[in-house]
């Protein structure tokens, strides 16, 4: 039997923190670490398996022989097995062979803390450390400004495996994406990219939401250094990166976290709390301190080691409610008789506190689909502590409205106005995400009614309305050029569509909307405050016209916006304004370069002292069919300037 030299990275303080659920950098201790002991080079291994009778490391360095390298269990009842194996090194392939105290059950597991994994369908872990030389110091020093809640957040959601593929339908590498994706996102003026899960996962149809390698970037596109290069290039081009993160559930794959040491270790032992029936997956035990440390350490890991600018936390609603997708009798109330998962709530609060304490210049964003209160409010006020929350209600109501024939829209005015009754109860991000273009829902373009011209006009109007509605924005890949078909994770986007004018027009529109959003403070400075929005008129259902003002810190930045939701142009449409002056049209979704008619441009408008809409002044404008126009007071006007300083 080969010798395993006793060695430990853990101090007593580490063990106490781990047991208390307060160790947030476990990746520095657990896993495999290249090191030198007594002048001998090798690898230190450490794994948590409290129900194990024996743990050995099997790998290519010992011909996968069980028991050849047995780890030593710590004396302190922490359940940690560890040891130093001479001769192993970077690139060594391994798993843990675990014999359980429970009926001598044996499991063979990948390392939960591995930094690199084999390419699927292989499932072993790889010893890995890198010395990547980051070049994004300029971004890191100033990213607090870019990631602030009063900064523009226009997010491009990307699935790396299907954004674009090579001619033989193979994946682009992280290095390829560092060139092509970064250049594209920069040209399109998005402020951030959000990547669907890039942590290692075994099953492509899960899109990455069934994770087995929480600390390893997927090997599908390259090694960890290559992924760092992609992040680095984004930052060098002033583009932030958000990562989808899945602390809600994990798959039952034999090499994964499930039944890890022959017991319910990471998952809750009660199936009513530990098994997700819809996804056939296991649910973390949020009440177990060591599991909390694992998950929070994982969140910190991606922000620390990979310079991520934030985490979009998946399926938060499934975590918050004990009866989520369960019938009566399939769940049990909490200690107070309620349906809330108190342990999950506590975990989310602690996770957000840990993240913002260590990285005050990032954001956490909740995908939470219910009316659960105060998701994006501070924990000190009783909130969950997220920076933002996806506005799922807006998404549902808006897509439902735009899917209707324009002749019926006058009966559904409230579908669009309703969002403003709750828009400022949270810091909302408006998502048109991947979930809205799969499973028979059709593409966003495919939902639009009318002939070809009207369908594209509707799509441009939807996007224009979205970008001028309070909140941040998220658009899934392909939506920016009017992808015709539903998203297919197995193929590239239909880039050939850009040879056609309608699709090219949508792409130009998104590019200009992003530029407008980034350049006009009224669209982002108060995007999460009721002070940043004012209706002019939301009652003109007969004409299906909506008019409103977006406000910045300084009145001179205010924008006047009018949307016409029908194919009938509204000429000489009277609009009431609180201020007199000259207004210049700065955006029109009907421009010819967007595949619009180009027939309804507005010249410089001067207000008249003619009261309208309960305001002292008014102008008359032309609103194009299925179009939106944006006006800004001309610099020659002299607005009342706020005394507040812009941050």
**Alpha carbon separation from 153 to 320, 363, 394, 472 (Å, rounded):** 26, 11, 17, 5
In a domain, 624, yes or no: yes
In a domain, 133, yes or no: no
- Establish how many alpha carbons lie within 13 A of residue 502's alpha carbon, considering only the half-sphere containing its beta carbon: 15
pLDDT computed for residue 636 by the predictor: 53
Take residue 601 and report the two structure tokens written for it: 């441009």
Crossing angle of helices 224-236 and 137-146, rounded to 10°: 60
Q: Are residues 179 and 225 in the same domain?
A: yes
498, β-bridge pairs: none
In a domain, 437, yes or no: no
Q: Are residues 90 and 225 in the same domain?
A: no
Secondary structure in 3-state letters for 374-411: CCCCCHHHCCCCCCEEECHHHHHHHHHHHCCCHHHHHH
Give the Cα separation of 635 and 640 in Å (integer).
12
Q: Catalytic site residue 585?
A: no
- For 204, the domain range is 150-389
Q: Are residues 45 and 180 in the same domain?
A: no
In this structure, how many other beta carbons lie within 10 angstroms of the beta carbon of residue 129? 14
Question: Which residue, 76, 109, 142, sits at the end of a domain?
Answer: 109
Q: Are residues 449 and 583 in the same domain?
A: yes
Q: Coil, helix or strand for 288?
A: coil
236, 139 contact by CB (below 8 A): yes
Q: Are residues 236 and 302 in the same domain?
A: yes
Give the Cα separation of 111 and 31 in Å (integer).
6
Q: Are residues 372 and 406 in the same domain?
A: no
What are the respective helix, strand and coil percentages of the chain, to the nearest 5?
30, 25, 45
Residues of the chain below pLDDT 70:
1-2, 635-647
How many domains does one find in the chain?
A: 3
Give the Cα separation of 124 and 3 in Å (integer).
22
In this structure, how many other beta carbons lie within 10 angstroms of the beta carbon of residue 519? 12
364-404 residue pLDDT tens: 999 999 999 999 999 999 999 999 999 999 999 999 999 99
In a domain, 145, yes or no: no
Residue 602: name the closest of 579, 571, 576, 559 by CA: 571
Q: Are residues 158 and 304 in the same domain?
A: yes
Q: Are residues 69 and 188 in the same domain?
A: no
pLDDT computed for residue 634 by the predictor: 84
Length of the chain: 647
Q: Catalytic site residue 353?
A: no
Q: Are residues 363 and 422 in the same domain?
A: no
CA gyration radius, the chain = 27
417, 522 contact by CB (below 8 A): no
Which of 367, 436, 508, 554 is catalytic? The answer is 367
Q: Coil, helix or strand for 631?
A: strand
CATH code, domain carrying 39: 2.60.40.10
Question: Which residue, 389, 419, 453, sits at the end of a domain?
Answer: 389
In a domain, 363, yes or no: yes
Which of 232, 244, 314, 520 is catalytic? The answer is 314
Give the Cα separation of 131 and 125 in Å (integer).
19
Q: Pairing relation of β-strands 388-390 and 428-432?
A: parallel
Q: Are residues 102 and 232 in the same domain?
A: no
Q: Are residues 100 and 224 in the same domain?
A: no
CATH code, domain carrying 572: 2.60.40.1180
Q: Are residues 336 and 379 in the same domain?
A: yes
Name the DSSP class of 370: S
Burial of 485 (0-12, 13-18, 19+ CB in 10 A): middle
In a domain, 490, yes or no: yes
Question: How big is the CA angle at 532 (ends 528 and 534), to the nearest 5 degrees?
Answer: 125
pLDDT computed for residue 2 by the predictor: 64
CATH code, domain carrying 202: 3.20.20.80
């Amino acid at each position: 039997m080969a010798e395993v030299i006793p060695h430990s990275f853990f101090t007593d303080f580490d063990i106490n923190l781990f047991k208390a659920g307060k160790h947030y950098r476990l990746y520095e201790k657990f896993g495999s670490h290249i090191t030198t002991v007594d002048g001998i080079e090798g690898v230190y291994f450490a794994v948590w398996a409290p129900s194990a009778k024996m743990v050995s490391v099997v790998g290519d360095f010992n011909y996968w022989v069980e028991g050849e390298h047995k780890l030593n269990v710590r004396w302190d009842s922490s359940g940690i097995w560890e040891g130093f194996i001479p001769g192993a090194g970077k690139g060594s392939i391994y798993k843990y062979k675990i014999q359980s105290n429970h009926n001598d059950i044996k499991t063979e597991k990948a390392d939960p803390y591995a930094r690199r994994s084999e390419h699927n369908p292989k499932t072993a872990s790889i010893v890995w450390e890198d010395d990547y030389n980051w070049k994004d110091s300029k971004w890191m020093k100033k990213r607090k400004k870019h990631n602030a809640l009063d900064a523009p957040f226009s997010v491009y959601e990307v699935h790396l495996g299907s954004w674009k593929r090579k001619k033989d339908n193979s994946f682009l590498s992280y290095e390829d994406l560092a060139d092509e994706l970064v250049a594209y996102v920069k040209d399109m003026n998005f402020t951030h990219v959000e990547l669907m899960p890039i942590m290692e996962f075994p099953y492509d149809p899960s899109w990455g939401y069934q994770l087995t390698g929480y600390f390893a970037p997927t090997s599908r596109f390259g090694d960890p250094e290559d992924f760092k290069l992609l992040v680095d290039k984004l930052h060098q081009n002033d583009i932030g990166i958000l990562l989808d993160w899945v602390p809600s559930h994990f798959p039952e794959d034999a090499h994964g976290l499930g039944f890890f040491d022959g017991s319910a270790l990471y998952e809750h032992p009660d199936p009513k709390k530990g098994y997700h029936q819809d996804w056939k997956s296991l649910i973390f035990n949020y009440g177990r301190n060591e599991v909390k440390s694992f998950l929070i350490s994982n969140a910190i890991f991606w922000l620390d080691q990979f310079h991520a600018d934030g985490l979009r936390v998946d399926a938060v609603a499934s975590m918050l409610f004990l009866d989520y997708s369960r019938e009566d009798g399939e769940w049990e109330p909490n200690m107070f008789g309620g349906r809330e998962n108190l342990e999950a709530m506590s975990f989310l609060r602690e996770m957000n506190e840990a993240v913002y304490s260590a990285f005050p210049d990032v954001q956490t964003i909740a995908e939470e689909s219910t009316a659960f209160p105060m998701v994006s409010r501070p924990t000190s006020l009783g909130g969950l502590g997220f920076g933002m929350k996806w506005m799922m209600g807006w998404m549902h109501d808006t897509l439902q409205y735009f899917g209707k024939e324009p002749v019926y829209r006058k009966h559904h005015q409230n579908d669009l106005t309703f969002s403003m009754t709750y828009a400022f109860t949270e810091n909302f991000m408006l998502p048109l995400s991947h979930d809205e273009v799969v499973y028979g829902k059709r593409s966003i373009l495919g939902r639009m009614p009318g002939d070809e011209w009207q369908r594209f006009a509707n799509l441009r109007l939807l996007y224009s309305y979205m970008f001028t509605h309070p909140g941040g924005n998220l658009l899934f890949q392909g939506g920016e050029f009017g992808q015709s078909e539903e998203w297919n994770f197995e193929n590239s986007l239909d880039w050939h569509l850009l040879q056609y004018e309608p699709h090219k027009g949508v792409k130009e529109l998104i590019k200009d909307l992003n530029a407008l959003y980034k350049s006009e403070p009224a669209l982002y400075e108060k995007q999460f405050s009721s002070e940043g929005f004012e209706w002019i008129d939301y009652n003109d259902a007969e004409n299906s016209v909506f008019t409103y003002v977006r406000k910045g810190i300084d009145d001179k930045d205010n924008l006047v916006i009018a949307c016409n939701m029908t194919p009938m142009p509204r000429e000489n449409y009277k609009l009431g304004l609180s201020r007199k002056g000259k207004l210049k049209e700065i955006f029109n979704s009907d421009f010819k370069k967007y595949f619009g008619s180009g027939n309804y441009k507005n010249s410089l408008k001067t207000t008249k002292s003619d009261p309208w809409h309960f305001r002292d002044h008014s102008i008359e404008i032309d609103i194009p069919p299925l179009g939106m126009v944006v006006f800004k007071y001309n610099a020659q006007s002299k607005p009342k300037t706020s005394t507040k300083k812009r941050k």
